[in-house]
Structure 1
Amino acid sequence: MSVEQAALAEVVREEWGRLTSLLLAHFRRLDLVEDALADAVETATTRWPRDGVPDNPAAWLHTAARRRVLDRIRAEAMAQRKMPLLVMDAEHRSTATAFADPGDLVEDDLLRLVLMCTHPALDPAAASALALRLVLGVSTADIARLFLVPEPTMAARLTRAKKKIVTAGIPFAVPSADVLPERLEVVAQTAYLAFTAGYAPGSGPDVVRTALAAEAIRLVRVVLVLRPDEPVLVGLLALMLLQHSRRDARVDADGGLVLLPDQDRSSWHQDEIDEGVALLQSASLTGPIPVRAAAYVVQARIAAEHATATSSDDTDWGRVVDHYDDLLALAPTPSARLARAVAVAEASGPQAGLDAMADLDDQLPRSHRLPAVRAALLERAGELDAARSAYSVAIDRCGNDAERADLLRRRDALDG
């Protein structure tokens, strides 16, 4: 891959959602924005190798896409013989705010754009998926992994959600924050899924997409300003901070994956751990916890067990298993069952962990983490041939370059 191709791939991966958000905030035309951004990227594939990578690649794409939207609006106005006021108004709004650097998008604007996508007329899952794709720039493939469905299925869901916006006459406009109460749970789910996509990307070269995870945390903080005692948000923020605190230790000097037992705990962000623990002990979470918040709180308690232990051996794995039992009573997802199996293996040995995940294959048919965990436990149990086969399955399924490299290393080590 050339320098120009790598730069374009990076800006599309990191800035697609922000570019979509900025253009939608001005033009309110989803169809034009998506087509214009795609055209801008296609133009960049031919222009950048010839002219060089621009100083601000995201701004270049924003300008190119904005011009294409304006061209389409002009063409529509002329075709319908309308007065040019529409074009003039669009030009005024699009030039009134120049493209900002990645950290300059007003946080409240991010919330309003998420609210825009999470209209109550849409199915909550479809609304979250739409916000992840359009506002936060998560790829369709990674969204499909988050929802445990095939990529074509998720692509079809996104298409249906966009069509419903048009056919139902839902205004694709940025709403005010007074609609927050009716959309709170979908906004929280969207932030949670966005954080997951940043913390453990399903595809691409990165161990962690720090900017995406941080964006999800900022979104929750913005909503907390409006609803400071909301248990859903307090529990979710605690979970995010406790997980995010380990981000630097999860990547080695070469960009490779470092698993929890091997991490340098001195590089964990203690201020975030302290804040997360304090949130778990706050008044919002000390009384009866609403059902809609309970799953986030239990996951935060699991994260706190890891974040406050001095080593993996020091972790109270029996208590972690108990927390997972509580989580499964609230949300019996296959991903939670797999995570519980890991904890069971640490508490009671690899065979107990293998037994705990014995019937998950049908529920996680595309997951690389299921065969990866199975391979690691089989290796610990001394069943090296079976471990090698499981590693191969995990490698075939894995879409993340760093995780795949780690799996290849572990499989090769068996031969050594």
Structure 2
Amino acid sequence: MRPHEVVDAVARRSYGKLVAFLAADTRDVAAAEDAVSEAFAAALAHWPVHGCPANPEAWLMTVARRKSIDGMRHRRSGEAVTTQLQMLVENQTSESAEAIHDAEIPDKRLALLFACAHPAIDAGIRAPLMLQAVLGLDAKTIASAFLTSPEAMGKRLGRAKQKIRAAGIPFAIPARDELADRLDGVLDAIYAAFAEGWSDPGGTDVARRDLTDEALFLARLLVALLPQEPEALGMLALMLHADARRRARRSASGDYVPLAEQDVLLWNVAMIEEAEALLRYASTLGRIGRYQLEAALQSAHVERRRTGRTDWTVEVQLYDALLALSGSPVVALNRAVAIAEWKGPAAALEIVNALAADGRLAQYQPYWAARAALLARTHAYRDARDAYDVAIGLERDPDVRRFLQGKQAVVVDRLI
């Protein structure tokens, strides 16, 4: 593997791990991100000339620490910088140094996730902050996941990092009685990372290539930490159900295959069984929540594998409960799609038309794709063609774009 390929691989695998490890010492997420980024830039310059080190993570961590110390000296003065420098030096001469030089860097991402979910941080920015600090996503990608503009998201992330530094928020797993205030944000961040990676099933986008695996790893860590927390169990079940369909999402020639047309024999049975067991156990713990309901919806799809049919009545009931909990326009849209199968496209189109007033869906590709499909089914072909235009323009995945273009071509044929 060539040096730049090693740097790329380590960046995808270890960026968040390195930021979390360094930020735990400095209590400064932004500075840790800067130092790690500078370390990767140094690797791109150094490794092609001198060769890749035996332990790339350790090399990067050592350089990042030096960059962090240099940054502190340039940015600050007086007692504050002296205290932080002392913290770094003490950690370098204790177990941290041993971890860097003799073994793998300890994975402190779960601690950083909980630090970013501290009550002092605004609830609405906790999950986006975790996605950037722990998984390295940029503001544009995060903004897309949370239906907002990149500029607004960038400003909010900057303010949140300043709050962490100013408040001296500790980077540690909170005590049991503090978990309730932080768990929802941690769950939302891990699932948002999974969903972002899930939107790139072909693995063509470097920034998202390993996100599903990273999110599953973090979800398992969380379940190990909180084995009696039903929503953590529900989230892992939801992710396993979705990941079980990975092989079926593309045809042998690489074409996109929607859920309703997937070959269920390609679904991963072991993952499905694990997800079902998690969901059953979560249901015994007496507290229902969003992730358990979403996992139950995925479980309903599994019935098609067993029986060859889908009970849309059950799906709509589950969406009703989920919508009552979340009030999410995305949930409302998915509920409308299920109603189209249960009561027909006209009933669903009424709901979708009403959702047009929610500005958060204006740049949401699935909204326009669903709207186009429903319009086509009600023979409003001209409007369907126009809705497909918007959906195609918003879609990032070329395979999905071709799928939508094929659907649009059928609609255009009906107009001729």
Could you say which TM-score interval applies, normalised by the shorter chain?
0.7 to 0.9
Gaps of 5+ in 2: none
Partner of 1:332: 327
Partner of 1:171: 169
Partner of 1:349: 344
Partner of 2:30: 31
Work out the CA distance in 2 between the residues paired with 1:230 and 1:61. 36
Work out the CA distance in 2 between the residues paired with 1:373 and 1:131. 30
Partner of 1:285: 283
Partner of 2:371: 374
Tell me how far 1:158 sits from its aligned partner: 0.8
Tell me how far 1:255 sits from its aligned partner: 5.2
| TM-score normalised per structure 2 | 0.80
Equivalence map 1:67-106=2 (5 Å): 67-73=66-72, 88-89=89-90, 91-92=92-93, 95-98=97-100
RMSD: 4.0
Moved more, 370-379 or 297-306: 370-379
Work out the CA distance in 2 between the residues paired with 1:395 and 1:23. 42
**Conservation of the 8 A alpha-carbon contact between 2:18 and 2:105:** no
Partner of 1:387: 384
* Counterpart residue identity of residue 325, structure 2: L
Identity of aligned residues (%): 33
* Counterpart residue identity of residue 242, structure 1: H
Q: 1:391 to 1:270 in 2, by over 3 A?
A: same
Work out the CA distance in 2 between the residues paired with 1:203 and 1:361. 31
**Conservation of the 8 A alpha-carbon contact between 1:77 and 1:86:** no
* Counterpart residue identity of residue 356, structure 2: D
Equivalence map 1:308-323=2 (5 Å): 308-310=303-305, 314-323=309-318
**Conservation of the 8 A alpha-carbon contact between 1:207 and 1:403:** no
Tell me how far 1:251 sits from its aligned partner: 3.4
Q: 1:394 to 1:119 in 2, by over 3 A?
A: same
Tell me how far 1:345 sits from its aligned partner: 1.8
Partner of 2:19: 20
What secondary structure is seen at the aligned counterpart in 1 of 2:135?
A: coil
**Conservation of the 8 A alpha-carbon contact between 1:295 and 1:327:** yes
Tell me how far 1:281 sits from its aligned partner: 2.6
Work out the CA distance in 1 between the residues paired with 2:201 and 2:8. 16
- What are the Cα deviations for residues 198-241 of structure 1, in whole angstroms up to 9, with x where unaligned? 32369994599573233333333323333322222222222222
Work out the CA distance in 2 between the residues paired with 1:348 and 1:161. 45
Equivalence map 1:250-265=2 (5 Å): 250-253=249-252, 256-265=255-264
Moved more, 229-238 or 33-42: 33-42
Would you say how many aligned residue pairs link Structure 1 and Structure 2?
A: 405
Gaps of 5+ in 1: none
For the pair 1:197 / 2:196, whether they are aligned, the reply is yes
Equivalence map 1:179-258=2 (5 Å): 179-200=178-199, 205-206=204-205, 211-253=210-252, 256-258=255-257
Work out the CA distance in 2 between the residues paired with 1:96 and 1:148. 43
Partner of 1:130: 129
Work out the CA distance in 1 between the residues paired with 2:5 and 2:385. 33
Tell me how far 1:319 sits from its aligned partner: 1.8
| TM-score normalised per structure 1 | 0.80
Tell me how far 1:21 sits from its aligned partner: 2.3
